[in-house]
Structure 1
Amino acid sequence: MFRALTTRRRVATRLFSSSRTSSGGICFATSSADAVVVAAETGLYGLDVLKTAKGFRRFVDEAISRSGELVSYISQLPPSMEVIRAMDEISDTVCSVIDSAELCRNTHPDREYVEEANKASMRINEYLHFLNTNNSLYTAIVKVEHGGALHTEEAQRAAHALRVDFENGGIHLSDEKLRRINKLKIEIAKLGKEFNENIILDPGSVDIFPASRIPKNIQHLCRTIYRPVPSDGSSKSWITRKEKGYRITTDSSTLSSILKWVSDAEVRKQSYMKGNSMPHANLDVLNKLINARHELAQIMEYKSYADFAIRPNMAGSPDVAMSFLLDLSKHVRCKADEEFNVIRECKRQYLNERNADLEPWDEAYFVGMVKSSAYSLDSSVIASYFSLSRCLEGLKMLVESLFGATFCQVPMMPGECWHPDVVKLSLHHPQEGGLGFMYLDLYSRKGKYSGCAHFAIRGGRLISKSEYQLPVVALVCDFIGSPGSLTSRLNHYEVETLFHEFGHALHSLLSRTDYQHFSGTRVVLDIAEIPSILFEYYAWDYRVLRTFARHETTGEVIPEKLVKTMNDARRRFAAMELQRQIFYSLIDLRIFGEQHNTPIDTVSMVADLKTQHTSWKHVKGTHWHTRFSHLINYGAGYYSYLYARCFAATIWHNICHEEPLSLDTGSILRERFLKYGGAKHPVNLLNDFIGNGIQSCNGGSIPDASSLLRELGL
């Protein structure tokens, strides 16, 4: 029941920021109503208990104490709405610790805070085990679900969701089975941690000589090395001269740059082979994870772990999700093959070899060459229109245009902020008042989470008829620069990512659920990414970009022709990129699907899927999936990203495209979708929202992919 309703990566969170008046040069209106509290002292995120790092210990103690009181209270209640309210308060109490610790672990510069947050996270998750195996709570929720005492659809849905969560933990099974389930969950968590640590600790490397084989623009990514040079070709006769070379660490990020920019095919091949065969240890880790998850599903009387994981989602079963993916694969194959042939022809012309074959390590390099030739785009020119301050102004404008609400910077109390660069914003509506708070922690620094994500600090919930607990989130990025810096400008991929995470944040800030259990992004996996992907469309629409994208020195509005060219380049190989996502989703589904008598050979499985569902061949000796961390995070749920892409495409074309910045469009988005969070059944939610954008399939539901396919010219 009390699953860790913690932050999902790329999902909003809450946090408070510093007393700075700007972030990257942007000046938000300052709320005078909050100025009076600036002298008061508080703790991290405005929580008095976190005035020191060791405050996390008391934070956990108080959460356990309050939850214990509520457990006793619930055990004495008759079936009623109060049971759901009290259970949601337990969830809110526990999640407050989990979410705060998660954000602190990823962003706080003080190691003591990070270490105490880690300990708090471990302790509170141990307490979750007690809650999830508490029979008095389970009995109470079973009685209330079937007792006829719940008067709202959201309360009924909450009771059902809580009961299912309890049973997914095995509480209804024998003591022996429950003990085994608990051991398996611990083992699964350890294996997931080991898998991710191996990716970081063992990325692989290749040594390249001479140094001239690596272009200057990426030499900073490599380590300089030297080797002695023989004087006469003999390995025994040396002179003092040494040849300079580079050691390339083949982590995913560096490998991506090597494959994109290095003209030397042999360097690309060596890097590809090494990077896609590391870490070797994860082959064994993954096999153990597959077995542990399968045994867990078997004890829970499911055919497979995929069946166990997908049953609560819209798809309802692995068969439905697989049917969706296979159908999409058929639709996209022809166009993807055409794109493959374009790249191959480019290579043949480049080498002047009519029969040259295309290898996987050629893709990024020749895709870049085709796009460069066709579109003449200069990333630095594009970035000159997207200073971070302008982009933040764009987000502010977007909220005002769509929802009639305003982001105002509010001062933080001493102790509330974790870094001087952090800013706190209040979202305010002229008629409704405050809607929530958002911390911005946008700049890269040592020890900070190296990516962009939305963290939820506090979910919204109805406390009484006249009082609502406002959501608090944090938008965390790793952009280069500092507040006010003239160099804080984004490439367009970063702009798109910022809009993506902002979509998650708005989902959290604009939801108005009775229970925090359903607040904002706390939805079934199949629809979690819809708001974020929808807001990516805004980052590509000229009508939106012209409102804020201006040249950093001339102030010129970004040219419409440039935006059109950017969009043309984006769509140039879109079918092949969609094919790649289908391939990833199929790997995830098959690996955690039904297991047979013989142990699964994941390398052969992935090789077969690549041959069947992509235009590219598998390279013998590689096992790319051993660094595919989404196998840990999603576990048979990666298909949901494509579900969300289809739904977002339908929403954009049916609702937003004609008037993307109108209050009418914003009203529809908010009133028919965003405000519900997870409080409404996703099928009913989407049917009421987009009508014919969802189809029934073998007891589950799949999205209509026609809008997405039309974007690709299919």
Structure 2
Amino acid sequence: MLKGKYFMNLPALSCISRRNIKVSTWSPLATAFNTPPIQSMNIMRNETGLFNIPELRSFEGFYLLRENAIHRTDALIEEAISHTRKRKMVEIFDELSDVLCKVADMAEFIRLAHPKSRYSQAAEDACISISGIVEKLNTHKPLFKALKNVVDNKDIFPTTAVDDHVAKLFLFDFEQSGIHLEENLRQKVVRLNDNILQLGQRFMAGAVSPRSILKSVLPEDIRKYFSVDGENVLVSGLYTDSQSALAREAAYRLYLYPDSHQEQLLSDLLRCRYELARTCGFETYAHRALKSSTAETPGNVIAFLDELSEGLRSRADKDFEIMYQHKVKDSGKNLPLAAWDTPYFTAKIKKQWLQTSPSEFTPYFSLGGCMEGLNNLMQALYGITLQNTELEPGECWSNDIYKLAVTHESEGLLGYIYCDLFERNGKPNQDCHFTIQGGKRLPNGEYQIPIVVVMLNLNHPRWSGPTLLTPGMVDNLFHEMGHAMHSMLARTEYQHVTGTRCSTDFAEVPSVLMEYFAGDPRVLRSFARHFQTQEQMPDDMLQRLCVSKNIFSASETQLQVFYSALDQFYHRKPLAEQSTTDVLKVVQQKYYSLPYVENTAWQLRFSHLVGYGAKYYSYLISRAIASWIWQTYFKDDPFSRSAGEKYRRECLSHGGGVPSRQLVANFLKRDVTPENLSQSLITEIDTNNDKIKEMSRDFDIN
């Protein structure tokens, strides 16, 4: 039988020097990813099913998976509420979670990624069915009482600190639906959640809709920069890359002009969130959102933002002064720097610093070369190998998927990463990581291996040459692989807390940390080779690329502080008579160096307020922790095996099984205070600015 495949199982790279990694030819892994996937004929038409799930040999299998999940769920509920149960309550709940997640997580991915409508529709039906099961569980009071009794009074079986922590997480998830409240209040929670969902969807739709105005409003010399539809001009964004300052200003003022409908949607959304939090016993929605997070409380978040803001102010002002001087030089006029100028001059000055266009770097970043670099790094840090693995017929949803077996030198197979890296019609245009199956300890002592998908949107390789990545794409690849490796390297007792299933403000730490590796010249030097000649990237190009990533990091960080602070202030108490724009003006004056632009309301275009309500700060804290880890353990040697194993053992292996604040403090041997978090970023910015000054002696960036 001839099977659909890309390549047969390929040998791993041989042991290499971690300090001076050089190879003269592409490895089998690099060759595989630099070559268009090969699909052989499957004469016997025997298929294994999606993700090797036999039921999914056809789309109808989703209905069978759903029915199996329902039956198993019913049995687990009976076990949980039984007076004669024979195992820990947390073990029953985790199996219940595992049964539902195995169907829901996989179906959610297939719903988004499968090119055939029959599969995507069946997957969507499965998602809806599992959601219905979860809703029923959220109203199952005997089940809730059984869990709450264990959390409040201890289990009848001996438990560990991890058991107790995970049980509390399950209880909090239960209470999100208001099951612990009187029936009238529980129904109120249900209504509020429904309102919040609908308001959020409507707000997000409005946030991306173009602004239509009469073309007579714009002078003819500016009108040409925008799309014209009859008598109207459509402004679909901020046009930050336009060389015309007038076009950038017009786009900013028009696209961000206040919209009363959007304002009402946002105000109603914030009011419903506050009412939901108060009904569930929280002081504010921010308190509810931050429960079990690294930050723990809104007060800690604001203290961190205030501390960081104070340290950033003078440094960001220096960035803006450089941009201002460039604006004066470009325009010949002494005009102040404005909000519509900063993205343009940031990009322009970075390009000047590079002394070349980003496209000139791409020949040195073939997809296969980048995968080889990741493999080298994983071998050095953790003793693991990424091995391109044969795919069974019917195992994948598209014919351009790669499957990596992640294998440890002594532990064996750790898990599988499916790489869905190339663009196709209907595929979501976003880089992301999906968990298909979470890892967990099984009753027989074996480990349920994790299965994940890494999704990017790269150009397909051609027979004339491989897929080439821009420096930004390399960063994204390393970022998403950071999520995947978090899933692979975790070895948790429970799938409910495996890998990335941890607090939002810690989940991004491993992926952001991988960006530090992607920005280190020692790491890039190990794989940045021309796809044709295999010559290493010239050292001056390499150094300029790495340093350029940190130009204007103070002003860019200050903008993130501003966004994060606004998100926190919105999710405090209701705004009363103030509009969301009134709040924005006050917050911007405190946290951002550039002034508010009158008659604009960019927050009405800020869709992250829906998905990251009260959690937008998470990226900043994750970056602060990642920077702290980098400076402490990897700055001197990014290939350090001892540091890598310690990081895996004390951080990655726990997933969300240990409270993230405790986990970080234990690993870094210091308390996770606003001062320490802020200082890690300020130290990083100062160090990078020193490097920029050193390299700018022969290049005038000022």
TM beyond 0.5: yes
The CA distance in 1 between the partners of 2:494 and 2:609, in whole Å, is 30
Alignment partner for residue 486 of structure 1, among 461, 465, 484? 465
**Contact 1:534-1:652 within 8 A present in 2 as well:** yes
**Residues 555, 55 of structure 1: CA spacing in aligned structure 2 closer, same or farther, 3 A cutoff?**
same
CA RMSD of superposed structures (Å): 2.8
Residue deviations 1:513-540 (CA, integer Å, cap 9, x gap): 0110110001112211110110000111
The CA distance in 2 between the partners of 1:547 and 1:82, in whole Å, is 48
**Residues 708, 26 of structure 1: CA spacing in aligned structure 2 closer, same or farther, 3 A cutoff?**
farther
Does 1:662 find its partner at 2:668?
A: no
**Contact 1:500-1:536 within 8 A present in 2 as well:** yes
Residue deviations 1:492-532 (CA, integer Å, cap 9, x gap): 11111111111111001110001101100011122111101
**Contact 2:33-2:367 within 8 A present in 1 as well:** no
**Contact 1:269-1:361 within 8 A present in 2 as well:** yes
Alignment partner for residue 683 of structure 1, among 661, 681, 694? 661
Taking structure 1 as the reference length, what is the TM-score of the superposition? 0.86
Q: Report the equivalent of 1:302.
A: 282
Q: Report the equivalent of 2:88.
A: 82
The aligned amino acid for 2:629 is I
**Residues 170, 109 of structure 1: CA spacing in aligned structure 2 closer, same or farther, 3 A cutoff?**
same
Write out aligned runs for 1:154-553 (5 A): 154-202=162-210, 250-251=236-237, 255=238, 258-260=239-241, 262-277=242-257, 281-353=261-333, 355-482=334-461, 486=465, 488-553=467-532
The aligned amino acid for 1:168 is Q
**Contact 1:499-1:536 within 8 A present in 2 as well:** yes
Alignment partner for residue 110 of structure 2, among 104, 112, 129? 104
1:599 Cα deviation from its structure 2 partner? 4.4
1:313 Cα deviation from its structure 2 partner? 1.6
Q: Report the equivalent of 2:62.
A: 56
The CA distance in 2 between the partners of 1:371 and 1:118, in whole Å, is 44
**Contact 1:199-1:278 within 8 A present in 2 as well:** no
**Contact 1:204-1:279 within 8 A present in 2 as well:** no
The CA distance in 2 between the partners of 1:116 and 1:502, in whole Å, is 29
1:375 Cα deviation from its structure 2 partner? 4.1
The aligned amino acid for 1:259 is T
1:226 Cα deviation from its structure 2 partner? 8.8
1:187 Cα deviation from its structure 2 partner? 1.6
1:421 Cα deviation from its structure 2 partner? 0.7
Q: Secondary structure at the match of 1:619?
A: coil
Q: Report the equivalent of 1:11.
A: none
**Residues 210, 24 of structure 1: CA spacing in aligned structure 2 closer, same or farther, 3 A cutoff?**
farther
Residue deviations 1:645-679 (CA, integer Å, cap 9, x gap): 11101100101112211321221111111111011
Question: Please, which moves more after superposition, 56-65 or 452-461?
Answer: 56-65
Q: Report the equivalent of 1:672.
A: 650
1:277 Cα deviation from its structure 2 partner? 3.6
* Structure 2: gaps of 5 or more residues: 8-27, 36-41, 688-702
The CA distance in 1 between the partners of 2:268 and 2:120, in whole Å, is 30
Q: Report the equivalent of 1:577.
A: 556
The CA distance in 2 between the partners of 1:362 and 1:212, in whole Å, is 17
Alignment partner for residue 621 of structure 2, among 619, 643, 647? 643
Residue deviations 1:606-647 (CA, integer Å, cap 9, x gap): 233223211222222222122222211111011111111111
**Residues 521, 506 of structure 1: CA spacing in aligned structure 2 closer, same or farther, 3 A cutoff?**
same
1:710 Cα deviation from its structure 2 partner? 1.2
**Contact 1:39-1:413 within 8 A present in 2 as well:** no
The CA distance in 2 between the partners of 1:284 and 1:387, in whole Å, is 48
**Contact 1:25-1:483 within 8 A present in 2 as well:** no
* Structure 1: gaps of 5 or more residues: 1-16, 30-35, 216-221, 228-245
Residue deviations 1:302-341 (CA, integer Å, cap 9, x gap): 2211111113222222121111111111110111111111
The CA distance in 1 between the partners of 2:442 and 2:356, in whole Å, is 53
The CA distance in 2 between the partners of 1:369 and 1:400, in whole Å, is 38
**Residues 356, 321 of structure 1: CA spacing in aligned structure 2 closer, same or farther, 3 A cutoff?**
same
The aligned amino acid for 2:136 is F
**Residues 277, 43 of structure 1: CA spacing in aligned structure 2 closer, same or farther, 3 A cutoff?**
farther
Question: Please, which moves more after superposition, 375-384 or 442-451?
Answer: 375-384
Q: Report the equivalent of 1:634.
A: 612
**Contact 1:421-1:483 within 8 A present in 2 as well:** no
The CA distance in 2 between the partners of 1:501 and 1:300, in whole Å, is 35
**Residues 334, 212 of structure 1: CA spacing in aligned structure 2 closer, same or farther, 3 A cutoff?**
closer
The CA distance in 2 between the partners of 1:693 and 1:553, in whole Å, is 50
The aligned amino acid for 2:250 is Q
**Residues 406, 126 of structure 1: CA spacing in aligned structure 2 closer, same or farther, 3 A cutoff?**
same
The CA distance in 2 between the partners of 1:506 and 1:593, in whole Å, is 36
The CA distance in 1 between the partners of 2:271 and 2:622, in whole Å, is 29
Question: Please, which moves more after superposition, 517-526 or 548-557?
Answer: 548-557
The aligned amino acid for 2:453 is A
**Residues 130, 362 of structure 1: CA spacing in aligned structure 2 closer, same or farther, 3 A cutoff?**
same
1:40 Cα deviation from its structure 2 partner? 5.2
Question: Please, which moves more after superposition, 199-208 or 96-105?
Answer: 199-208
The CA distance in 1 between the partners of 2:224 and 2:369, in whole Å, is 35
Q: Secondary structure at the match of 2:403?
A: strand
Length, aligned pairs only = 654
Q: Secondary structure at the match of 1:26?
A: helix
1:116 Cα deviation from its structure 2 partner? 2.4
The aligned amino acid for 1:670 is R
1:561 Cα deviation from its structure 2 partner? 2.0
**Residues 708, 59 of structure 1: CA spacing in aligned structure 2 closer, same or farther, 3 A cutoff?**
same
Taking structure 2 as the reference length, what is the TM-score of the superposition? 0.87
1:26 Cα deviation from its structure 2 partner? 3.1
**Contact 1:495-1:539 within 8 A present in 2 as well:** yes
**Contact 1:386-1:491 within 8 A present in 2 as well:** yes
Q: Report the equivalent of 1:32.
A: none
**Contact 1:427-1:436 within 8 A present in 2 as well:** yes
**Residues 303, 27 of structure 1: CA spacing in aligned structure 2 closer, same or farther, 3 A cutoff?**
closer
**Contact 2:401-2:419 within 8 A present in 1 as well:** yes
**Residues 211, 468 of structure 1: CA spacing in aligned structure 2 closer, same or farther, 3 A cutoff?**
farther
1:364 Cα deviation from its structure 2 partner? 2.2
Q: Secondary structure at the match of 2:670?
A: coil
